[in-house]
Chains A and B, each alone.
Chain A
Amino acid sequence: MTHGAAVRSGVRRAVQLFAASVTLVVAVRSLAFYYGYPAEALYDGELAAQDEYARGMDRWIDEELTSRDFATGSDRFDGEWLFATRMMAVLGYGQTAIEHPELRPEHARLIDDAIDALISNEGRRFDREAWGSDALDDLGTRRSHVAYLGYLALALAMARTVNPPTRHAALEARVVDHLARRLEASETGLLETYPGEVYPIDNTSFLGALGLHDRATGEDHSALLERSCAGLAGRYRDPHSGLLYQAVDVDDGAPIDVPRGSGTALGAYFLSFADPALSRSLYESMRESLLSVTSGFGTTREYPRGHGGLGDIDSGPVLFGQGVSATGFTLALARVHGDRETFVATYATAAFFGGSVGGNYALGGPVGDGLLFALVTALPAETWR
């Protein structure tokens, strides 16, 4: 082979390699585009796209689910997941009814049905077994039951926002009054999830409920809300990352777990109902330390750099530092705070690994479907201002 031929052969090989590499990048991006494509309609709040998720959720509301339909390996977690499935479905039905008033009559009915299941004996069991007493019987006592009542309050307040004369309005008023009194009396500014256990994320569910409650009823808890949100921002955010601590000490509120993506993301979503500015600030902290987009696929870290872990029931599996729950919860924040790019990229990841089929997810199950329904239909923060 002549010298010129050898050079031409080398250049040809280099061009071949370059073309293959560029095509590989384009192919990965094409996959991200393909799986993220439905996100555009969801982000824009198109009725057909949101309705597909609502109808996918109907299946789990109509079915007689029990905690035996979950397999976490823990009776408490099975009960929590059953509860979360219906509670998040209520948020999804509520948000879509607010965005599309024509859905309101049907979704108000579905919301009431879901709440009937939430307050059933089976729905309350996981909390009753942890506390040794029933949450609804304890209304007005010193026991806060935030694991159950905080999230129930949010579902009830959403029901009342969508349909003020809901048959659950009286219960909503009792639950909100109970938790508001407990919060007023709390020295740490937080309420117990289970005896001896305090999680800021669970408290944000009640703060979100309080925001919705005041909008729906015209009552004024703004002083309590302002104080609680200021306390949350001042005492329970890591000063370096700006993320919420996952767990704090029951006596003095000192952090006993590291700041985490899953708790911060879900908390910021719930806070968007009550304090959009704090919600945005938490999302900005997440953007700085947790969010990344690689070749069109968006993911969210569970732990900020410098911290680590394998994940738990809250985070779901943590793979290469990226959290399944944190990534999913980011969808809601991206839509709430007008971040289309992150919404589409994160949706591509959720759709790819979750396997979206109509309004359901192959790897979602009841709780995954409920969560994603609420998260992809989360309302822009302006709705609550």
Chain B
Amino acid sequence: MKRALFGLVVLAMLLGLDRAFASLAVETNAAGALLSPGGAVRLEAFAVAAAFLLTRLTFALSFCAFAAVLAGSAVRWAWPSPTATDR
């Protein structure tokens, strides 16, 4: 239960960061940094764009992993280990 709550808090924080970086990217017009084929890219624009993308991908992967682990744990909880029962 504690681990599930911790996971939820981490997900909420990642979602908040994702929103913050997305808004910052819009405000600072960071888009060209990742879409441009080359040339004069501002370092701070690249950092904001990369941070947004990294946060979003981390959120998505964490969300999926969290859901899968939670489902596995639920089965474990609902169906206790037979070795434990035998003993």
A contact residues vs B (CB 8 Å cutoff) = 1-2, 4-5, 8-9, 12, 15-17, 19-24, 26-28, 30-31, 69-74, 77, 312-313, 316-317, 324, 352-353, 355, 357, 360-366, 368
> Which of A23, A69, A316, A362 is the one whose CB lies under 8 Å from B25?
A362
> With A1-B83, A72-B32 in contact, do A27 and B39 touch (Cβ < 8 Å)?
no
How far is it, in angstroms, between the C-alpha of A309 and the C-alpha of B79 when the chains are bound?
51
| Nearest 7 Cβ contacts at the A-B interface | A73-B39, A365-B31, A23-B71, A362-B25, A8-B82, A27-B67, A73-B38
Q: Is the CB of A12 within 8 A of B79?
A: yes
Q: Give B68-85 interface residues, CB cut-off 8 Å to A.
A: 68-72, 74-76, 79, 81-83, 85
Give, as a whole number of angstroms, the nearest-CB distance from A246 to chain B: 16
- Chain A proximity of B71: nearest CB distance (Å): 4
B84 → A minimal CB distance (Å): 10
Does B35 interact with chain A (Cβ within 8 Å)?
Answer: yes
The answer to whether the Cβ of B40 comes within 8 Å of any Cβ in the partner chain is yes
Give CA–CA (A361, B35) in the complex, Å: 12
Residue of A nearest to B76 (CB): A16
Residues of A within 8 A of B83 (CB): 1, 5, 9
Asked if residues A362 and B82 are in contact (CB atoms below 8 Å), the reply is no
- Nearest residue in A to B86 (C-beta to C-beta)? A5
Bound Cα distance A319, B64 (Å): 22
Chain B residues with CB under 8 Å of A77's CB are: 37
Q: Is the interface of A mostly helix, strand, loop or mixed?
A: helix
Q: Is the CB of B32 within 8 A of A71?
A: yes
Besides A27-B67, A362-B31, A363-B49, 11 more A-B contacts (Cβ < 8 Å) are A8-B82, A9-B83, A12-B82, A71-B33, A72-B39, A317-B34, A355-B22, A360-B26, A362-B52, A363-B35, A368-B31
- Looking at the assembled complex, report how far the CB atom of A299 sits from the nearest CB atom of chain B, in whole angstroms: 15
Q: List 30 A-B residue pairs with CB atoms under 8 Å apart, sorted by A's residue number.
A: A1-B86, A2-B86, A4-B82, A9-B81, A12-B75, A16-B72, A16-B75, A19-B74, A20-B68, A30-B67, A31-B63, A71-B39, A71-B41, A72-B32, A72-B37, A72-B39, A317-B34, A355-B22, A355-B52, A355-B56, A357-B19, A357-B26, A362-B30, A363-B30, A363-B31, A363-B34, A363-B52, A363-B53, A365-B29, A365-B31
CB-defined contacts of A9 to chain B, threshold 8 Å:
81-83
Instruction: Check if A23 sits within 8 Å of B22, measured CB to CB.
Output: no
Q: Which of B34-54 contact A (CB under 8 A)?
A: 34-42, 45, 49, 52-53
B contacts with A: majority SS = helix
Chain B nearest CB from A69 CB (Å) reads 7
Indicate if the CB atoms of A316 and B75 lie closer than 8 Å: no
Report the count of interface residues on B (CB-CB < 8 A): 45
Please indicate the chain B residues that have their CB under 8 angstroms from the CB of A20 in the complex: 68-69, 71-72
Chain A neighbourhood of B42, CB < 8 A:
71
CB distance from B26 to the nearest CB of A (A): 5
- Distance in angstroms from A369 CB to nearest chain B CB is 8
| Contact present for A363 and B25 (CB under 8 Å) | yes
Known: A27-B64, A71-B40. A17 touches B35 (CB 8 A): no
User: A residues within 8 A CB of B60?
Assistant: 31, 352
Which of these, B25, B26, B35, B56, contacts A317 with CB under 8 Å? Answer: B35
Roughly how many angstroms separate A69 CA and B28 CA in the complex, as a whole number? 11
Determine the chain A residues whose CB is within 8 A of the CB of B70 once the complex forms. Answer: 23
In the complex, are the beta carbons of A26 and B67 less than 8 A apart? yes
A24/B68 contact (C-beta < 8 A), A71-B36, A71-B40, A365-B32 known: yes
Question: CB distance B25 to A355 under 8 Å?
Answer: yes
Which chain A residue lies CB-closest to B21?
Answer: A362
A57 CB, min distance to chain B CBs, angstroms: 12
Contacts of B31 in A (CB 8 A): 361-366, 368
Min distance, Cβ B10 to any Cβ of chain A, angstroms: 15
- Shortest Cβ distance from A11 into chain B, in angstroms? 9
Residues of B within 8 A of A71 (CB): 32-33, 36, 39-42, 45
Contact across chains for B29 and A366 when beta carbons are under 8 A apart: yes
Residues of B within 8 A of A74 (CB): 39
Give CA–CA (A69, B35) in the complex, Å.
13
A378 to B69, CA, bound (A): 42
Are B34 and A17 in contact, CB atoms less than 8 angstroms apart? no
Q: Which residue of B lies closest to A368 (CB)?
A: B31
